[in-house]
Structure 1
Amino acid sequence: MSRTSTTAPRKRDLPLGSRAPRVVRRTPLLHLLWKAGVFVVGAVVVATGIVLLPLPGPGWLVIFGGMAVWATEFVWAQRVLRWTRRKVTEVTRRALDPRVRRRNSVIVVIGLVLAAGGVGAYVWRFGVFTL
């Protein structure tokens, strides 16, 4: 007797395609309007993220939020998000490797020592400007 898994499929295992309600997908005109609405909302969110990139704020997070809106309807956006998720997982796994963390810590300490030496040399040569 074989056992079947009772767990729900993960999001990345879901088939690509529209996530619109069935009643919307059955009517071609309604589905076209739905897709246009999703595209416009996603475009507004992505444009807001692009504006936030040089400003203080979560620009990239907002851009990926707009991509997630697009991914509810468009296969190309679903593929981009899957690829991004794989890359972020891979980079996170590599960053948490103890050897990489140790190396990065050494690099940061060396950089801080060099910066402190540069500030010390500047203060020794030119003094501290006071008002």
Structure 2
Amino acid sequence: MSAESDEKPLGSRAPAFVQASRPLHLSWRAGIFVVGLAIVVAGIILLPLPGPGWLVIFAGMAVWGTEFVWAQHVLRWTKRKVQEGTEWMKERRRLRRERKAARSAP
């Protein structure tokens, strides 16, 4: 089973009654966009300041990801890169421990 098949399907996660009405769905999407944009802008403002700027930006992307496929793709790519970076760091740590153990062995 691949990682792609374990993930939620792409697309809108709006309630069915919202998706049933085109004007309501467009309003819903506009609202999601504005809320996500406000969160992302707040994150960008926090980047040079002490605070969780990147975390806030990703929270805004997660809000967008509830409605927009492009944001869902960005979030999946980011998750993959974070997992790859975590595995790389674990491997570096393991190799460093092995080298240290080899140096201290008689």
**TM-score, length-scaled by structure 1:** 0.67
Superposition deviation, residue 43 in structure 1? 0.1
Q: Which has the larger share of helix?
A: 2
- Partners of 1:11 and 1:69 lie apart in 2 by 22
Q: Which residue of 2 aligns with 1:29?
A: 23
**Which structure is richer in relative contact order (CA contacts within 8 A, separation 6 or more)?**
2
Residue 14 (structure 2) pairs with residue 17 (structure 1): no
The one-character-per-residue Cα deviations of 1:9-61 (angstroms, maximum 9, x if unpaired) are x9952210000000000000000000000000000000000000000000000
Kindly tell me: are residues 28 and 62 of structure 1, through their superposed partners in 2, closer, same or farther at Cα, counting changes over 3 Å? Answer: same
Which shows bigger deviation, 10-19 or 53-62? 10-19
Correspondences of 1:90-129 after superposition (within 5 Å) = 90-97=84-91, 98-99=94-95, 102=96
**Paired letter, 2:40:** V
Kindly tell me: are residues 18 and 12 of structure 1, through their superposed partners in 2, closer, same or farther at Cα, counting changes over 3 Å? Answer: farther
Residue 63 (structure 2) pairs with residue 74 (structure 1): no
Superposition deviation, residue 69 in structure 1? 0.2
Residue 36 (structure 2) pairs with residue 42 (structure 1): yes
Instruction: Give the % identical residues.
Output: 62
SS in 1 for 2:45: helix
Q: Write out the 4+ residue segments of structure 1 that deviate beyond 6 Å after TM superposition.
A: none
**Paired letter, 2:49:** L
For structure 2, the residue ranges without an aligned partner over 5 or more in a row are 101-106
- For these two proteins, the number of residue pairs brought into alignment is 93
Residue 53 (structure 2) pairs with residue 89 (structure 1): no
**Conserved 8 A contact 1:12-1:82:** no
